Structure 1
Amino acid sequence: MITPAYCLTMARYNAWQNGCLRRALSGLSPAALTEDRGAFFGSLLATANHLIWADALWLSRLTGTPVPEGGGPRGLTLCPTFATWSAERFRLDGQLLLWAEKVPALALTGSLEWTASTGERHVRPLGQVLMHLFNHQIHHRGQIHAMLTAAGIPTEDTDLLFLPEQGPWL
């Protein structure tokens, strides 16, 4: 269904777009970052923290690293400041890139098994899990982008076609 090249492209896209978000969010005050903007998770920082928590959770399932603490409402406050969020975001993007650089094609034909916080066991095709991971990132970054745009804060291009590593399009 998917290939190692797809995983690497999407991990690169994720890191690029999170870098764009870091630049857009970097000049905002703590009040602006935590202001309720009517989005699903409320604020820019809460939405960005949800992505941190979800990415760390999926990475733990993919790599066997410890499960992150604080699901649900606690996941929205994992990084209380822009500086802590930025550092953690950079670290997670690096971990995802390292994983994507090494994922073997054969692994992508298998399944991923995990136990949810409720104790329920799940088994899903790994390709489907990875599509979910990357789509989830795009979805919530889109919410952040919309909040920034509504606040009049300049944002960068989000089109995958302009991923810098892809080179010029003919």
Structure 2
Amino acid sequence: MDQFKELQLFVEVAETGSISRAAEAVELSISAASRYLISLEARLGVQLVRRTTRNLYLTEAGAEFHRRCKSILADLGEAEAVTREAVVRPSGVLRVTASLSFCMLHIAPMLPDFTARYPDITVDVVAAIGGRKGIRARLSVDLRQVVVNRVGIRHQPSRSESEPSCAHFWCLATAWFS
């Protein structure tokens, strides 16, 4: 039999005082729950629960076993939660470069919420005014403004492209993971 399921069932029996409610809590049939409890007592060589026609009572050994099992199951649940969180919880450094205006208008307003949601991520923002060649090797994300006009795509908008026939877009130009 599954020892973990036996312990879960026993703790539920001790706390609810009922095999049927405990069976429902651990998703077993009543007969399977009875077999699990009998198997646990046989394996330990001690009676944990006194059964009457109307009630269940823990023996002295059952009360001590319940206390220890409850602690073990709580520790196991905590270990699982910590492990799950470590896998799901992102961490590290996110390096972003973009123009000064884009940083001020779009990135800066998002930073407080982002850092609150992902406290283990350090954000390194570089607000670039000129060329970015020297800092590219350290980047996670590089945002650039792209202008689309009737002729094609240009990476940097010129002053004459402010006319209505040009569309300005921000795009992810490069992504390196360092």
Which range, TM-score by smaller chain?
under 0.3
TM-score when normalising by structure 2: 0.25
Larger Rg: 2
Question: Structure 1 or 2: larger helix share?
Answer: 1
Question: Structure 1 or 2: larger strand share?
Answer: 2
Higher relative contact order (CA closer than 8 Å, sequence separation 6+): 1
TM-score when normalising by structure 1: 0.26
